[in-house]
């Protein structure tokens, strides 16, 4: 395996892992506040179709990404109104959001399937992009990939060193105690859910505006579900989310690598690797539930009644 092939594999790994990283970081913030939103897949698809249609009609990628994020926020607040405002079951509400988003995105985008647009171009940083092996992987990407690096650092710092990050964690651990000392539990949770929706919309927009770029029904291909598993796999830690996203990204392109190397392996078999890896991770975690609960926010998925 020559160095050029390794460089291209690493470059593709980062691109493929970027939507997973973005949506998983958003879900991690949401879960840190104690809210479990299983609607990531539906929000991603709504972001993808809204961003694509906006870009196709206006010719502006910037507007496309903004609308994609807005679509994710609107979908997330629909979830928040039901799950938080009405204290409905968060698991059932999240599943309903995914079903609703999947169907609505297919309906809205039916007449736009297969229409091409000029996607987001890569921007190579002079000198740095010429570094062997890692130069192209880190410094010859598009703006959203660079933004994902910034988002990772910001969220890592947010929970490690900032007071608002401590507030979010306090709300997720014990909302009643947080409410007793005057912390805005409901506002914090609504904002965390909105941030998760914005990140899911951005990840969906990246798929239809940069990674492909085109709109196709169900184009997220289960990435929202993989992101949910990734957050648990990463023990709600930003640095592990980053590593896990790129590992899943690498698993997603292994079928292309195998074909390039001449291995006689079924491409369908190789394409299922990231989903098989998700199942394996969940099985491993289920065998050690004590470890998972040790890192999970204590009040994750539990409704909060201010008067309780």
Contact 36, 165 (CB under 8 A): no
Task: Report whether pLDDT(271) > 80.
Answer: no
pLDDT of residue 308 exceeding 60, the answer is no
Rounded Cα distance, 91 and 35, in Å: 10
- Return the pLDDT at 290: 57
DSSP letter for each residue of 121-141: PP-PPTTGGGSTTHHHHHHSS
Taking only the tens place, the pLDDT of each residue in 230-254 is 998 888 999 999 998 998 888 888 7
Q: What is the mean pLDDT of residues 110-137?
A: 91
Residue pLDDT, tens place only, 259-269? 666 676 666 77
pLDDT of residue 282: 67
Please report how many Cα atoms fall inside a 13 Å half-sphere around the Cα of residue 71, on the Cβ side: 31
Lowest-pLDDT range of 6-10, 83-87, 222-226, 290-294: 290-294
Give the chain's domains with CATH numbers.
3-295 (1.10.3470)
- For residue 114, the SS3 value is coil
Per-residue pLDDT, 11: 93
Quick one: pLDDT at residue 295? 76
How many Cα atoms are found within 13 Å in the side-chain-facing hemisphere of 151? 26
* 209 close to 68: Cβ distance less than 8 angstroms: yes
C-alpha distances out from residue 191 to 28, 35, 73, 149, 237, Å: 13, 11, 10, 22, 19
User: What's the whole-model pTM score?
Assistant: 0.92
Place of tokens 């289920």: 286
Mean pLDDT, the chain, whole residue set: 90
Q: Is the pLDDT reported for residue 172 higher than 90?
A: yes
6 confidence band (pLDDT: 50, 70, 90): confident
Instruction: Report, in angstroms and rounded to the nearest whole number, the Rg of the chain calculated over CA atoms.
Output: 19
Q: How confident is the model at residue 274 (pLDDT cuts 50, 70, 90)?
A: confident
Q: Which helix (H) or strand (E) element contains residue 245? A: helix 238-261
Pair 207, 219: CB distance under 8 Å: yes
pLDDT in tens, 175-188: 999 999 999 999 99
Cβ proximity of 145 and 18 under 8 Å: yes
Residue 159: both structure tokens together: 């929970």
Q: Is pLDDT above 90 for 152?
A: yes
């Amino acid at each position: 395996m020559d160095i050029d092939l390794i460089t291209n594999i690493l470059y593709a790994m980062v691109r493929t892992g970027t939507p997973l990283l973005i949506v998983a970081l958003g879900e991690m913030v949401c879960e840190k506040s104690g809210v479990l939103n299983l609607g990531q897949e539906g929000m991603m698809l709504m972001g993808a179709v809204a961003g694509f249609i906006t870009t196709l009609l206006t010719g502006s990628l910037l507007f496309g990404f903004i609308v994609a994020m807005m679509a994710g926020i609107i979908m997330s607040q629909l979830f928040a109104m039901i799950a938080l405002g009405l204290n409905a079951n968060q698991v059932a509400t999240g599943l309903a959001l995914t079903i609703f988003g999947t169907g609505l995105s297919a309906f809205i985008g039916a007449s736009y399937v297969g229409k091409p647009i000029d996607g987001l171009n890569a921007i190579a940083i002079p000198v740095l992009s010429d570094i062997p092996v890692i130069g192209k992987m880190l410094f010859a990407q598009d703006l959203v990939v660079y933004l994902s690096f910034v988002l990772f650092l910001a969220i890592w710092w947010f929970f490690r060193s900032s007071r608002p990050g401590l507030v979010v964690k306090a709300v997720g651990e014990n909302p009643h105690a947080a409410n007793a000392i005057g912390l805005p539990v409901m506002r914090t949770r609504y904002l965390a859910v909105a941030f998760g929706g914005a990140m899911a919309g951005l990840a969906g927009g990246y798929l239809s505006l940069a990674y492909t770029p085109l709109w196709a029904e169900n184009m997220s291909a289960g990435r929202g579900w993989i992101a949910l598993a990734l957050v648990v796999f990463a023990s709600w830690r930003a640095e592990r989310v980053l590593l896990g996203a790129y590992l899943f990204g690498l698993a997603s392109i292994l079928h292309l690598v195998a074909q390039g190397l001449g291995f006689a392996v079924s491409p369908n078999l190789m394409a299922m690797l990231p989903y098989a890896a998700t199942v394996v991770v969940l099985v491993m975690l289920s065998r050690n539930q004590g470890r998972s609960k040790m890192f999970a926010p204590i009040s994750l998925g539990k409704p909060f009644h201010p008067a309780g």
